[in-house]
Amino acid sequence: MPLQILPATPPSTSTRADEARHGSPSRREFLAGLAAGGASLLLGTPARSAPNEDPGAWYALVSDIHIAADPSTRLRGEVMADNLRAVVSDILAADAAPRAVLIDGDLAVQKGQSADYRTVVSLLDPLRKAKLPIYLGLGNHDDRTNFREVLQGVIPLESRVVDKQAEAVDGPGLRFVVLDSLDQCNVTPGKLGSAQLDWLTAELDAQPEKPTLVFVHHNPVPVQPPPTSLLDTEAFLAILRPRRQVKGVVFGHTHVWNVRKEEDLYMINLPAVAYSFAPAQPLGWCRFRPEPGGGQLELRCIGGNREADRQRIALRWREA
């Protein structure tokens, strides 16, 4: 499963003023609403769906943070830790808290060192203190062994797929399936593998009615030499296309902000947080709010080219 950092009490869509008047939700309410336990830092069973859909729910979608052990590390003119701090601050500045924060891989700067992940956890600490669940996926600059070792001291790590970090996360009116495309650390292409694809098929077939977005780090495009994307793209899309509850794929890897449709599936390429490969690209994250029949995606820039800051894109789901 992806790393899930859970708070001791649940996320809330109430305003900070409401919390000041009434207090934050209790652990008992959290267990009743999400069917998941939590500690101040917990690696464990992901949150499950709330009994009632919340029209005010939204999610923070983040990718490519590339954090080094030394938070002052700079690459391509950017201090990556400072950029992540800016994203965290922007998330926390919202009037209502997000339902969850999902970070779609490349957590570490290059080779997934244990110290990199310790710094990642430290930088995400304000979100944890704000009682927000955080889901972390893996990308090609991550190391699964080091990732697990850093979190192993919290509680034992479990996984639905051997040697992968894959899990489904249910929210109000929407389901996320988070996949692990890490193949080899610091080697550019990614791969899901047959075991994870089989699990994905079974997981989607278990809930054919609920709108679903699938998260994967690598861009799912046909492989051309030299390979830089998802090596088993065709097998992956062959699973998604006929399953009409799947509305789109969310990915990172390219450090490019782009939303397009391919055969009525949305392809949502999240911007990088850490640094860009081209000056025309923004740095930042996306705020996603599910709506009946679709959702709204908002770009939030913290650096790079800010021309598209606060750009909103209406997503309309294909018919189930």
pLDDT number for residue 55: 66
CATH of the domain at 106: 3.60.21.10
Is there a contact between 133 and 47 (Cβ–Cβ < 8 Å)? yes
Tens place of pLDDT per residue across the chain (320 aa):
455 554 434 444 444 334 333 333 332 232 222 222 222 233 323 333 333 456 679 999 999 999 999 999 999 999 999 999 999 999 999 999 999 999 999 999 999 999 999 999 999 999 989 999 888 899 999 999 999 888 765 444 566 788 898 888 888 889 999 999 999 999 999 999 999 999 999 999 999 999 999 999 999 987 778 889 999 999 999 999 999 999 999 999 999 999 999 989 999 999 999 999 999 999 999 999 999 999 999 999 999 999 999 999 999 999 88
What is the layout of strands, in order, in the sheet containing 282-291? 3-5, 134-136, 100-103, 59-62, 282-291, 294-304, 312-316
Report the pLDDT value the prediction gives residue 34, as an integer from 0 to 100: 28
pLDDT at 98: 96
* Per-residue pLDDT at 228: 93
| Per-residue pLDDT, 17 | 37
Domain containing 146 equals 3-316
Prediction pTM value? 0.84
pLDDT on residue 56: 76
Token code pair at residue 75: 């690459």
Q: Residue count of the chain, please give it.
A: 320
Q: What local confidence, expressed as pLDDT, does residue 5 receive? A: 52
> In this predicted structure, what is the pLDDT of residue 223?
76
Q: Specify the pLDDT at position 67.
A: 98
Number of domains in the chain: 1
CA distance 184 to 217: 13
pLDDT of 226 reads 82
Determine the Cα–Cα distance for residues 45 and 10; give it in Å rounded to an integer.
Answer: 14
